[in-house]
Amino acid sequence: AHWWSGWYHAYSPSQINFLLFTAIWTVFALLYLTLAPWKLPTAAHKFAILAAEALTMLFWFAGWVALAVFLSNRVCFGHVCSAAKAAAVFGAFE
């Protein structure tokens, strides 16, 4: 995202921004999923845990598909392209 705004002097693509949001969301979801059952058992309802897991999974799936489609029809070269392809692969694993 930083390279895109520096090189093209424009906003980075929404697909990349969404994967960045998804990574930040995952950190907050992990904090909830680990701390809520331990410190706040009343906040760790089984459906809330399921919703956090399902929403995180949905975000990663949507981000991976969006970035893969974005990269599929682009002329892509260099380290930034390799990093974007690696982000798509890791997004698929997540």
- At 47-82, the pLDDT tens digits run 999 999 999 999 999 988 988 888 887 777 777 778
Q: Which residue has the tokens 């906003």?
A: 11
SS3 9: coil
Place of tokens 């930034």: 80
Q: pTM score, two decimals?
A: 0.79
- The angle subtended at Cα 86 by Cα 18 and Cα 59, nearest 5°, is 30
Q: Is 19 exposed, middle or buried (0-12, 13-18, 19+ CB in 10 A)?
A: buried
Cβ-proximal residues to 94 (8 Å cutoff; 6+ apart), any chain: 26, 60, 64
